[in-house]
Structure 1
Amino acid sequence: MSDSASVGIIGSGLVATRVTAILSAHAVRPRMVPHVHATELLDRKIVVMAHGGNHAALAGTYLSHGISVVSCSDRMADVMAMVDLQDRAQANNAVLIPGAACMPGLSGLLVAHAARAFDQVDEAHLAMHGTGGPSCARNHHDALSGTSVGWHDGEWLQRPAGSGRELCWFPDPVGPRDCYRFGTAEPMLLQRVVPSLQRITARVSATRRDRLTARLPMMSPPHAEGGVGGLRVELRGSRQGGRHDEVVGIADRLATVAGAVAAECVHVLLKGGIEPGVRILGAEGLPNADILDAVLSNGISLHRYVGN
């Protein structure tokens, strides 16, 4: 089966469209189907799941057929359910890359990239601004209610989502934004990516209205595509006997970012050589530096804070 006939995409929204465009530019023309026709992709080698809703159950079905999966889901429970599919992926000689979006996704790649400037990393503090499309906006709305999870000195801490305001600076044109705890799988994924981390926090930008209405139905329909969003990764640790900080980030449309991350994961899987199992972006087992370089080659600029 040629590369052009070996990839399928579930979804027809912004992220799915971005993935298709990037793959097509590299002579890989995937078959795109809606969620209701997902079984039509059982003849593929790789399936990108870029539709709204939960992915874990369908991802498990694909893995059982020996099909590798790249999932763009960022829902906490859904992502962690996919992490639990390790045994099924290995048993069927398939690879599952969960959270192949912005955060999680690009965030893990940036952590792995920035960690190279340290002798040892012990803190990771991440923040995100913006949404990709309607499904992402609904997830953002829901994630500000319920419970957030953080890693603090070797213990998991649960705090109310929407609490813990912190002013976070993103690359221009996003600039400073008030950010809050939210329901995301990112801390649990990063703890696997960098076991030396003692503190992990993840926040998302939100307005007062976002927080007050998080437990209510969305008051207005989400936009077809959000504006320019941002991702910020701050690492702290030791280098040459002293304390050291690194802050890196991006500012771009988040659907563009998620599409680039998912598409470059497909390219890596097409090349082969990835051990079967669940592979988290940023962790060992994936060529993270190569994936990051490929993502950035799609016109996404990486910024690094320089100063005191």
Structure 2
Amino acid sequence: MSQQVLILGGCGRIGGAVAKDLQQYADATITITGRRPVTPRTKMPWRVLSLDLDDHQQLRETIAQHDLVIHCAGPFSYRDDRVLLACIDQGVHYLDVADNPAYVRQALSHGQAATAAGVTAIVSTGVFPGISNVMVRQGVESLDQAETAQLSYIVAGSGGAGVTVMRTTFLELLHPIRAWIDGRWQSVAPYSQRQRLVFPVPYGPCHVYWFNTIEAMTLPESFPLRTVITKFGSQPDIYNHLTWLTARLPKIWLRRPGMVEFLAQTSYRMTEWSDRLSGIGIAMRVDIEGQRQGEPTRYTGSFTHDSTATAAGLGTGLVAQALLSGDLQQPGVWPVELAVPTTLLEQGLEQRGLAIGQSWQRLG
């Protein structure tokens, strides 16, 4: 009998991508949810359920009928820990695609309760965060000593994601970045310090900027790194300049009711046009400096996909697949880099016809 999987927010772009990946690679019966009644335009291979997360009773009853809950109903800056707590209370495994530091910190605080309940809960699966975190683990494990890590991302156009991702981007511009630099936490201005890096084809040279991510928070606690840098950029480059300008607006403007929504909707409409030229793919690059065989060495890992949303779906899907099969059992609440072994990531990507590019360069 196949296991029962509930994807909250499964009617959205990221949740839908997770459902498609699981449909192909896992033996599971899938239910996806949205806040409003949904009538599929075509026959779908999974059940569609209307569910309001503010209806606590319905939420608990629905969770109780499943073996795994995957929380994709962002933006997570607007969410609390009610879904995770309901899963722990009812012994149901949990994954999410959370991209908000406050939400993730709150979730990680429930590790002891999840361990006692025998529940494996993994936060921030997906592509970044998600695959990117395990790429860092892969690089750290390849060195004798890791000292600094930089994670850099390029997303073309909308990335194939919905307007929720646009909202998250503008919400992150409201706050300084809490960055781990030279062994201490420091404040960095969002979307600052433009940097040119070369990404795998078809991207080539691109520009990236400081951007707040979950990796910036969890990686310094997961590995003995002195510095963790997280940078993001867009293609075409004009979007970088517009985002830079937005980050420099008086913060009171961004906090005005409806302003973030206006910016998100406007940006999404712009990318609907530019996606036809730029595509919707993603490129990720991880650079880790340290020691290998007694020599200063830089490790570089790279990953590309022609759809950012699809990449996020498979990043979560391969973790869910491992949970459902029993290959991954680790009661507690974990950041993905501490829960998912590099071998599991490599096997999951290989099954999907993908791989992480890896290279090492001696320094000095």
Normalised by the size of structure 2, how large is the TM-score? 0.77
Q: Tell me how far apart the structure 2 counterparts of residues 147 and 208 of structure 1 sit (CA, whole Å).
A: 18
Q: Tell me how far apart the structure 1 counterparts of residues 311 and 301 of structure 2 sit (CA, whole Å).
A: 15
Return the offset for 1:296. Answer: 4.2
**Could you list the per-position Cα deviations for residues 240-269 of structure 1 after superposition, in whole angstroms to 9, with x for gaps in the alignment?**
111000111112122111111111111121
Residue 28 of structure 1 is matched in structure 2 by 28
Gapped regions of structure 1 (runs ≥ 5)? none
Return the offset for 1:165. Answer: 1.7
| Amino acid aligned to 1:158 | S
Q: Tell me how far apart the structure 1 counterparts of residues 114 and 80 of structure 2 sit (CA, whole Å).
A: 12
- Aligned match of 1:198 in 226, 229, 232? 226
Gapped regions of structure 2 (runs ≥ 5)? 36-50, 54-58, 235-239, 248-253
Cα 1:144–1:128 shift into 2, 3 Å: farther
Cα 1:280–1:297 shift into 2, 3 Å: same
Q: How does 1:77-156 map to 2 (within 5 A)?
A: 77-130=102-155, 131=159, 132-156=161-185
Q: Tell me how far apart the structure 2 counterparts of residues 238 and 37 of structure 1 sit (CA, whole Å).
A: 51
Alignment length, in residue pairs? 304
Contact 2:177-2:211 within 8 A present in 1 as well: yes
Q: How does 1:273-288 map to 2 (within 5 A)?
A: 274-283=329-338, 285-288=339-342
Return the offset for 1:282. Answer: 2.2
Provide the aligned C-alpha RMSD in A. 2.2
Secondary structure of 1:32 counterpart: strand
* More displaced 10-residue stretch of structure 1: 244-253 or 264-273: 264-273
Return the offset for 1:300. Answer: 3.3
Q: 1:171 aligned to 2:169?
A: no
Return the offset for 1:64. Answer: 2.2
**Could you list the per-position Cα deviations for residues 161-197 of structure 1 after superposition, in whole angstroms to 9, with x for gaps in the alignment?**
1112221222111222221112222122112321x21
Secondary structure of 1:22 counterpart: helix
Q: 1:182 aligned to 2:211?
A: yes
* More displaced 10-residue stretch of structure 1: 120-129 or 288-297: 288-297
Q: How does 1:201-280 map to 2 (within 5 A)?
A: 201-206=229-234, 207-214=240-247, 215=254, 217=260, 218=263, 220-222=266-268, 223=271, 227-252=280-305, 253-272=307-326, 274-280=329-335
Q: Tell me how far apart the structure 2 counterparts of residues 176 and 16 of structure 1 sit (CA, whole Å).
A: 31
* More displaced 10-residue stretch of structure 1: 73-82 or 96-105: 73-82
Residue 9 of structure 1 is matched in structure 2 by 7
| Amino acid aligned to 2:245 | L
Q: Tell me how far apart the structure 2 counterparts of residues 3 and 279 of structure 1 sit (CA, whole Å).
A: 26
Q: How does 1:50-65 map to 2 (within 5 A)?
A: 50-54=72-76, 55-57=79-81, 58-65=83-90
Greater fraction helix: 2
Return the offset for 1:291. Answer: 2.7
Q: Tell me how far apart the structure 2 counterparts of residues 76 and 296 of structure 1 sit (CA, whole Å).
A: 30
Return the offset for 1:14. Answer: 1.9
Secondary structure of 1:161 counterpart: coil
- Aligned match of 1:44 in 57, 66, 69? 66
| Amino acid aligned to 2:86 | T
| Amino acid aligned to 2:98 | S
Which of the two has higher C-alpha Rg?
A: 2
Q: Tell me how far apart the structure 2 counterparts of residues 164 and 296 of structure 1 sit (CA, whole Å).
A: 35
Q: 1:73 aligned to 2:114?
A: no
Contact 1:145-1:182 within 8 A present in 2 as well: no
Cα 1:86–1:190 shift into 2, 3 Å: same
Sequence identity (%): 22
Return the offset for 1:10. Answer: 0.9
Contact 1:95-1:274 within 8 A present in 2 as well: yes
Return the offset for 1:143. Answer: 2.0
Q: Tell me how far apart the structure 2 counterparts of residues 53 and 185 of structure 1 sit (CA, whole Å).
A: 14
Q: Tell me how far apart the structure 2 counterparts of residues 3 and 109 of structure 1 sit (CA, whole Å).
A: 28
